[in-house]
Structure 1
Amino acid sequence: MPLRLTPLADSRFDEWLAATRNRLIRLGQDSGMRPGEDAVQHADAFLAELLPAGLATASARILTIDDGGTEIGVLWLGLGHTRLFVVNLSFSVEPTDAQLQDLFDQVRDIARAENAAALTVSLFWQDAAGWGFVAGHGFEPSSIQMVLDPLPDRHDPSPLTLEPMSEERFARFIAASEADFAQELAASGRMSLEDATTESRRLVAKELPDGLATADQLLYVALVDGAEVGILWIAIRRRGGRDHAFILNVEVDAAHHRKGYGRAIMHAAEEAMRKLEVSSIGLHVFGANHGAVALYEQLGYRRLEELLVLPL
């Protein structure tokens, strides 16, 4: 008998919201993505953003999962620009492979009925049921959040150095960054290119309201024998009550690919953060950038959360 998906009753929304909040906090903390109070603040902001009208939010569908008269979980779906998102999937019992397959089939049918171009799921590394839901169906990682904590003690002499970015170089960097990020947002399926361009400008302005003078923002050019070979942008944030470096952008000029400069820039970033007494570095990498993912894992970065996409 197939699973039955039924809209969550209004009378149960507050109870479900509290349980979902607790689950998001626990996943964030246990994964290492957001230790301590970081996970609480993120969960509250996340729920407020995605459910502004509660159960009446037009883009949200919250469904109970019933098997033979017994409720075994709750599914939260969100409809984006061109995608159906599995926002949260929680079970009260450990699901069987058959139940997960049935649920996947029904969610895929919902996505197709909504004319979604893709099905998307965001998973922390320890979410066993979530990984069971996507297993064997062709999902590919779209983006990956990674962390290096603590920073290793390396001894890697290199001719590469990091120097603060000049105002002239900063102007060119910002123009290119806004354009590149807009393309990435549009490619994610979350919004149109026009909306992505506006959002890209907003986000860059939010990160750098005072340009190069913005507090806790470090922008470097990577030099070898005085010649620029790449750039590095780091934001100093808080993670678990400690200063945490987050790499917003790292690039090696196309003319200097395959010379080991990507690894050298990452090593230089570690050294720069050690001098600032910052003990961890985080970053986001697109899943299709297999070379970068492999490099970061070789350097000791571990995966915390992955956004997975299945084209329909």
Structure 2
Amino acid sequence: MAGITTRSMTPTEFDSWQQELAREYAEEQVAAGNWEASTAVERALAENARLLPDGVNTSRMMFLVAVLDDGTTVGRAWVGRDHPRGAPDTAFLWDIEIHEAVRGRGFGRALLAAVEERVAAEGVGALELNVFGSNVTAIALYERSGYRVVTQQMRKSLQR
């Protein structure tokens, strides 16, 4: 496997990523039964705008791009240096993704390790994330990487 490095996301990359992220996040929320499809993308964009008032320059956020040795971009990550619910000494991984065309080659594991290294270098002791229960590939990656479940939401659809 080729090595990867990370670099900061450019403003142009950030703008493009925001649109993709909102669409993907909206689809996941709809599939999970959390949001209505008709307003999901707008809701995702509004949520991100609230979290990222200064876009790529939002304080305490890192927006990283994963790059192969040959310069090919293969993924991205969004990390908050602070936990959204105030957990002490814990950063939060809001998003991590490897481009679909290059998945299954170990780049996800490599990007996750690079994110962990950056967070640790800033003196933060833990990294937390959320993952949709249907994302078995990501869950397996996180488990192999040493993550453990600390909270869990469950739902049952009821007959009306």
Please give the TM-score of this superposition, normalised by the length of structure 2. 0.89
| Amino acid of the structure 2 residue aligned with 1:193 | A
What is aligned with 1:275?
121
Q: 1: distance between equivalents of 2:137 and 2:126?
A: 22
Following TM superposition, by how much is the alpha carbon of 1:275 offset from its aligned partner in structure 2, in angstroms? 1.2
- What SS does structure 2 have at the residue aligned with 1:309? coil
| Residues 240 and 246 (structure 1), Cα distance of their counterparts in 2 relative to 1, 3 Å cut | closer
Once the two structures are TM-superposed, the CA of residue 306 in structure 1 deviates from its matched residue by 1.8
| Structure 2: gaps of 5 or more residues | none
> RCO (CA 8 Å, sep 6+): is it higher in 1 or 2?
1
Q: Deviations over 1:251-286 (max 9, x none)?
A: 111121111011001110111011111110000111
Partner-residue secondary structure (3-state), 1:310: coil
Matched, 1:284 2:130: yes
Structure 2 residue corresponding to 1:177, chosen from 21, 25, 39: 21
Q: Which residue of 1 aligns with 2:76?
A: 231
Q: Give the match for residue 257 of structure 1.
A: 103
Opposite residue 82 of structure 2, the aligned amino acid is R
Aligned position for 1:80? none
Structure in which a larger fraction of residues adopt strand = 1
Q: 1:296 offset after TM fit, Å?
A: 0.7
1:57-96 equivalences in 2 (<5 Å)? none
In the TM superposition, residue 311 of structure 1 has moved relative to its aligned partner by: 4.2
Q: Secondary structure at the match of 1:285?
A: coil
Q: How does 1:146-157 map to 2 (within 5 A)?
A: none
User: Which of 190, 196, 217 is the aligned partner of 2:61?
Assistant: 217
> What residue ranges of structure 1 are gaps of 5+ in the alignment?
1-157
- Deviations 1:171-192 (Å, cap 9, x if unpaired)? 1101111111112222222331
Q: Secondary structure at the match of 1:286?
A: coil
Matched position secondary structure for 1:303: coil
Q: CA deviation at 1:197?
A: 2.4
Deviation at 1:300, TM superposition (A): 1.0
Indicate if the aligned counterparts of 2:81 and 2:119 stay in contact, CA closer than 8 A. no
Distance 1:289 1:197 in 2: 20
Secondary structure of 1:229's counterpart equals strand
What's the RMSD between the two structures over aligned residues? 1.6
Q: Which residue of 2 aligns with 1:303?
A: 149
Question: What secondary structure does 2:18 align onto?
Answer: helix
Secondary structure, aligned partner of 2:146: coil
What residue is the counterpart of 2:12 in the other structure? 168
Letter in 1 for 2:23: A
**Separation in 2 of the partners of 1:213 and 1:250?**
18
Q: CA separation of 1:289/1:190 partners in 2, compared to 1, >3 Å: closer, same or farther?
A: closer
Q: What amino acid is the match of 2:127? A: I
Return the index of the structure with the highest Cα Rg: 1
TM-score (norm 1): 0.47
Percent identical: 31
